[in-house]
Every structure is written in C-alpha cells, then in structure tokens.
Amino acid sequence: METGAVNTIEQQLATYKMELAAELGNILNYWMANTVDGQHGGFYGKIDNDNNVIPASPKGSVLNARILWSFSAAYNQNPDERYLAMADRAYQYIIKHFIDHQFGGVYWTVDHLGNPLDTKKQVYASAFTIYALSEYYKASGAAEAKNYAVELYRLLVDKSYDADRTGYLEAFTKEWQPIADLRLSAKDANEKKSMNTHLHVLEAYTTLYSIWPQEELRAQIETLINNFLEHIIDSKTNHLVLFFDEDWNKKGNTVSYGHDIEATWLLLEAAEAIGHHQLIEKIKQVCINISDAAKQGLDTDGGLWYEYEPAERHLIKEKHWWVQAEAMVGFYNTWQINNNTEYLELSLRNWAFVRQHILDISNGEWFWGVYADGSVMQTEDKAGIWKCPYHNSRACIELIKRISRQ
C-alpha cells in the first residue's frame, strides 16, 4: 500500500474515532437526561419516538441490564463519575426488583412500581444480567456484583443447559419448570433453542470469564463456539439459523442480517478470550464468510436491511438502528482480519448512513429505524423493552477501542 493510501486510512480512522466519541457522549447524555424515573426508581419503561414518557409502562430486565452494561462499559473506557452513578442506579434497581431472590434468575418484567409482572425465566434475560454485572464489577469493584454474576451462571448451567445435546433451552416458569411459550417476543418462533439466546449467553460468558477465569466456564465458552460452528451457522449459505428444536434440528429459514454480522465479532472475541488458537484461526475464516453473506443485505446507501425470507423471496425493507450498529463493528472486524479495505469502507459507509438517517438530531438518541423510502418508523420506541443504549453505545465503545489499538 502506498504512503498516501496509508495516510488516508489513518485520517479516516482519526475522524471516525472522533465522531464516535462525540456520538457516544450524545447517547449517554440522552439516557441520563430523559430516562431516570425520579418518582418510582430506576428508569422509565417506555419513551415514545417523540420523547414522551409513557409513565405506567412495564420495566424490562433486558432494558435495565443493558443500561447497566452501557454505563459500566462507558465508565471503564472514560471514568466519568456521572456514568458510574448511572451504573450504580441500574445495579441497585436490578438487585432489588429483577433478581428473584427465592427461585433465582431474573424476572422478564416488573411493573412501573417495581413489582414482579412477567415472572418467567427467559435465559436471554439472565445472560444479559450476567453480562452487565460482570462489566459493572470492572467499573465498581463490588464483589457482590461478581457473586451475583457467578450465581446466575451456575443457575443457567444447572437449569437450562442441555447436558445430553449441548446448548441452552430458552425459557422456564418462575420456579424453573417447563413453560409452553418459550418466545422472546411475538415475532419469534416458539422453539426450544435459538441462535439469539446462544449468541448472548456466549457474550455474557466471555465477559464473565474476564473477571472469573475458571476452567468450567472456559469449557462452556468453547462448547458454545462449537454450537455455532456445528449447528447455528449454515455451512451452505453462511447465514445463521435462527431457531431449533431440542435436537438442533433447523426450524425455519429466515435470514437476520444484523445477527449475522453481530455474530462474527462476538465469536472471534470469545475464542480470543479463552486463548484457543485453533478456534481463533477457524473463526477468522468463518467471520469473512459470514460477512460476505451479510453483504447481501446491504442497500446502495450503505444501510443494512433487517431480514429476508428466502421461501417467499421477501426482503423486509426496514433498516433498524441495532442492525446498523452491528454492521459498523462487524465489517470493521472483518477488515482487521484480512486487511481488505473494502470491509473498512463498508463500516464507514454504514456510519455515514447512520449519521444521515438514524440519528435523531432534534430529540436525541437513535430512531428505531427507517423504511425503504427513508421515512422514520415513528410508532416505535425511543426507549423500551427492546430499545436500549446497548447496541449503539457498544458500537461506539468497541470501535473507539479498536481504532485506538490500530
């Protein structure tokens, strides 16, 4: 590569980092200014697209865990005491209201007053709580947080891990008994195992391993990586399979472009965390393959479409905020693997798309998404059960870290 090209990339990265740092500040400022529930504690359960608080809305465990993770991770990168104070608030609320101190695990939702509402034990929610508690321990040094994270991990292995077939079962009743409705949301298939839960159990365990490097946890991480290699990644298409029965039989063919590109960097991060060199090299090639498959979902404007239904040849022409955040990190990660600047350009173009279409310049935070004509998805949340500061703050934090090491 010629010197001029090197300088151009260096300049691009310096600008990228500067813009991401500014946007991270914007995101965190939005959540500090708009989401704190001063009357009932914790954070509001729902804020609509126009920044109106819906005061009696349920409060979600995933939302609160993601707030805890975001402000803990932001503090760990930039020790601003305001960030730690927000993390402390989230932590105290989770321990008091979401942790089931009788049966273990976390409730899916509580009401706006903090009373248990939907008490099912969704493994996905426990995973995010482990993830957040582990990051919070790094920020606060609170041994109690680490103990809760380890306790939740052991509970998942005991109650949810499928020792015969490997993998984790999706959901249980409050008392950890079988439950008829296993779904995370109405759009999901009602199946025993899912890609989404396994991806975020892996993410949670990777972060837990950084503060609790036990051999049993290392073995679980390795098994989870192999679940992806053997079952979840379709070797023919290089897309992720979303749902399975207990025996890992594939259920459905929906393509989720955001999950495809998100999985690339989370898988590599996990393999690197446990220092498994053979898996690292294998996953690097897998990352490239999946990234190339995910490119099928790119629009000409640099945005990444939401989902595709192969059977009907139907592209869901929506560009959701979280899909773009994952594209920014995932394509950058692929560039770091193979040094092909095409992938860096994909990351940069996606960020340009976000700046133009996804950032809410007037009211703050990121819109849920836009339709094919560029119009905003105005009926969706600005903050809610699923709309959290996690994907976008994590993209900023992760990319700032990677650019700093470049």
Model pLDDT for residues 113-144, shown as the tens digit of each residue: 999 999 999 999 999 999 999 999 999 999 99
98: which DSSP letter?
A: I
Give the pLDDT of residue 5.
59
**pLDDT tens digit sequence for 26-85:** 999 999 999 999 999 999 999 999 999 999 999 999 999 999 999 999 999 999 999 999
**pLDDT tens digit sequence for 350-396:** 999 999 999 999 999 999 999 999 999 999 999 999 999 999 999 99
51: which DSSP letter?
A: S
Residue 243's pLDDT band, with cuts at 50, 70 and 90, is: very high
Tokens of 403: 């650019």
**Model confidence at 402: pLDDT above 60:** yes
- Cα–Cα dist 177/164, whole Å: 18
**pLDDT tens digit sequence for 290-348:** 999 999 999 999 999 999 999 999 999 999 999 999 999 999 999 999 999 999 999 99
Report the helix count and the strand count for the chain, using DSSP H and E. 12, 14
Tokens of 327: 């594209």
**Model confidence at 3: pLDDT above 60:** no
What is this structure's pTM?
0.97
**pLDDT tens digit sequence for 156-181:** 999 999 999 999 999 999 999 999 99
Locate the domains of the chain by residue range.
56-346
Determine what percent of the chain is predicted with pLDDT higher than 90: 98
Mean pLDDT score, 89-104: 98
Determine what percent of the chain is predicted with pLDDT higher than 70: 98
DSSP3 helix / strand / coil % (the chain, rounded to 5): 55, 10, 30
Tokens of 376: 């905003």
Mean pLDDT score, 200-214: 98
Q: How, if at all, do strands 171-172 and 381-383 pair?
A: unpaired
Give the pLDDT of residue 406.
85
Residue 154's pLDDT band, with cuts at 50, 70 and 90, is: very high
Residue 177 CB partners (closer than 8 Å, separation 6+)? none
Q: How far is CA 109 from CA 45, 106, 154, 189, 316, in A?
A: 9, 9, 22, 20, 29
**pLDDT tens digit sequence for 299-308:** 999 999 999 9
Tokens of 270: 């996990």
Angle of helix 257-273 relative to helix 277-294, nearest 10 degrees? 170
Q: What is the CATH number of domain 56-346?
A: 1.50.10.10
**114 and 83 in contact (C-beta within 8 Å)?**
no
Angle of helix 61-77 relative to helix 81-93, nearest 10 degrees? 150
